[in-house]
Structure 1
């Protein structure tokens, strides 16, 4: 009798485990379907926005070029040097906007990969320069710690700048005045470079962590689009890397990005 009860108990436990595994697989499949649908929607939206922006950009670029030609070839043009410098600034900004719209068009499909040798410490410092005035105004301390003899990596500089601009901007948004951001760059092994971005801000609730990379999910309420981290994850994976996050409410958040030294096609 005891043997029968043990057999029934073990069999029941086996069936329950199989049902739980089946439910977990089903949930994962449904999640992947939902994620794919959201990414497709976002890809169509991005293409539409990029198209609408490119049209006026082309007109601005054309008119700026015309002003530059007039100023350059007219000997008595008033304040000639100042006008040419201002026009150069306009065309430079147009080029930057064009690169952004190119990435919007590439989102949701495979983006063209532009391989070059990248010094990760220099890239991070370039990104930090964009927000140095905010750091000074809010008295936020940013520490960059780099492992000795760090290798360069083969990757896409523009796309990596977008990744770390998003992550560092998120860290700033999580901080109050007098906050701190630690950025560590190291080799976890001979094939990868690892960048961690740690803040001592508000943190992310445990229930939100599993959704943090999903398109349209935001912890910022109406002020957030829910696209920044999903775009970041998509770019990192297209570059052959992995991104993860740990966080604790009231103590801060750490994003970890692992990238290959050389991307495998």
Structure 2
């Protein structure tokens, strides 16, 4: 490299080290114009574009390298290509390969360089006129048979780059085409090959509006395989209307989506639709629903579907006159009995697990109680012993007795506060009755109105007042006293609390409780419902014993309910409460 070029390169490097990337790019552009026959500055400029995520501009600079290097310098392009491949998304690299193919087809490069290209980068760049002809045919469904045959041939010989190049060609073209059938086939092949990003890009290009159920299922399925539903959430409006109009194939994917998104209410509705519509007469669909219920630990629902499957099997036998011979059970009966055994075993395991969890919680509770109760008792004992020694020495004074009694009262008050925290759980004065969930929650906020107003915390309660539960209303209200007080301590001031109450299914109540506080650190998710676990200062006078959420958990267990934190919620904390009551327990 000439001295002048070295000096410019050093100055560009200095600007990059100082973080002055735009200045470095500007100087590099100027140098590339000054030395038009040198590949160094296009390579350097492309690298800076790549590092800044400007992939298209990087690709254009790398293509210039091909026009400037000798065959012996081909590794310069190879290194640039490989680095771009590591940083750029898959669909962009397909577009870049397409551009390189066009350069090769134009025969603008020396023959030796073209040979090195094909040898070093593989068959994906060995473009011939057959590909261009197929790409042109792929714009018209009248050529569907020929195009599908060509794609299947590429797949059979593992020439996947041509399939990718064809998809990229269709994504980037601007003219109208009549190729819905070919596009659908190409999307299916890309999904089969695991090229999900490219397939979704082709869907976005060719399938708007998304009305075909086959395409909707493909979008949800590929997002599930990617473990990323960002694309589906962007292009599909997955709301109540969407769920209501779905068929079984869409419902199947929605079950996975709603589990991932922690959308319990929508999950319940989807399962109910699957049960009431799709599984009424189809044994395979009923089996799928049965497996879903098992995976979700919904054992009572699984038992109901199990009986439904047996009825369908019996009806099928009667319809076709298929009777047992020599007492031999059919394959379906053996499978069902096997599944019933697995179901019972899973139920037992979950019951054992829940029992173990309760025993561990009880152990921790007693351990914490021993510590919390032991401290004030120890303080009282030492204070009395000290006063007794003063009496023996004749050094006691009336004011010493007054101090002793005051200290004892302080410690007994501390004991009383601790025991009062458990009164909602252990009180024998429970009075069962039917009450409105919304009215119960509203009364809690009414009681705390002055404190909420003092901290400038607003709240909203959504839900029908007709949604009701059976049980002790006073006990149930303690759930929300604890949750609201927790939120008030987290938000401090100028905050918001939102509560949504719904009944997505018969005998089911769902409650969402959210605030816009700092949120709960992820490492505490598994601990927050344990007794005596707290992130707050226990001496602050604002709680901190670590009992609030433990009491919430226990009270909800009494109502046959569960509570969990929404791990996907951002901008605060959201708890999801679900209460399943026996027949007559929940009214809507």
Give the TM-score range, shorter chain: 0.5 to 0.7
Gaps of 5+ in 2: 1-352, 375-415
User: Which of residues 127, 130, 135 in structure 1 aligns to 2:452?
Assistant: 135
Q: CA deviation at 1:106?
A: 7.2
Q: What SS does structure 2 have at the residue aligned with 1:221?
A: coil
CA contact (8 A) 1:145 1:185 kept: yes
Deviates more, 1:216-225 or 1:137-146: 216-225
Say if 2:557 is the partner of 1:237.
Answer: yes
Say if 2:443 is the partner of 1:126.
Answer: yes
Structure 1 residues 205 and 166: alpha-carbon distance in aligned structure 2, compared to 1, 3 A threshold: same
Higher strand share: 1
Distance (Å, rounded) in 1 between the aligned partners of 2:445 and 2:572? 19
User: Which of residues 419, 422, 425 in structure 2 aligns to 1:104?
Assistant: 422
Q: CA deviation at 1:44?
A: 7.2
CA contact (8 A) 1:46 1:105 kept: no
Q: CA deviation at 1:217?
A: 0.5
Q: Which residue pairs with 1:179 in the alignment?
A: 495
CA contact (8 A) 1:153 1:262 kept: no
Higher helix share: 2
Q: CA deviation at 1:174?
A: 1.3
User: Which of residues 422, 431, 454 in structure 2 aligns to 1:114?
Assistant: 431
Q: CA deviation at 1:204?
A: 0.4
Distance (Å, rounded) in 2 between the aligned partners of 1:139 and 1:103? 26
Structure 1 residues 43 and 112: alpha-carbon distance in aligned structure 2, compared to 1, 3 A threshold: farther
Structure with the bigger RCO (C-alpha within 8 Å, sep 6+) is 1
Alpha-carbon displacement from aligned partner over 1:48-75 (angstroms, at most 9, x marks no partner): 9xxxxxxxxxxxxxxxxxxxxxxxxxxx
Q: What SS does structure 1 have at the residue aligned with 2:362?
A: helix
Q: What SS does structure 2 have at the residue aligned with 1:183?
A: strand
CA contact (8 A) 1:203 1:247 kept: no
Alpha-carbon displacement from aligned partner over 1:119-145 (angstroms, at most 9, x marks no partner): 111111110012111221222110111
User: Which of residues 341, 365, 387 in structure 2 aligns to 1:39?
Assistant: 365
Deviates more, 1:29-38 or 1:181-190: 29-38
User: Which of residues 526, 532, 545 in structure 2 aligns to 1:210?
Assistant: 526
CA contact (8 A) 1:192 1:261 kept: yes
Distance (Å, rounded) in 2 between the aligned partners of 1:150 and 1:251? 30
Q: Once superposed, what is the RMSD of the aligned Cα atoms?
A: 3.6
Q: Which residue pairs with 2:579 in the alignment?
A: 259
CA contact (8 A) 2:365 2:531 kept: yes
CA contact (8 A) 1:142 1:182 kept: yes
Q: CA deviation at 1:260?
A: 3.3
Q: What SS does structure 2 have at the residue aligned with 1:226?
A: coil
CA contact (8 A) 1:154 1:262 kept: no
Q: What SS does structure 2 have at the residue aligned with 1:35?
A: helix
1:151-230 paired onto structure 2 within 5 Å: 151-222=467-538, 223=540, 224-230=544-550
Distance (Å, rounded) in 1 between the aligned partners of 2:584 and 2:485? 29
| TM-score, normalised via structure 2 length | 0.28
Larger Rg belongs to:
2
CA contact (8 A) 1:180 1:199 kept: yes
Q: Which residue pairs with 2:402 in the alignment?
A: none
| TM-score, normalised via structure 1 length | 0.60
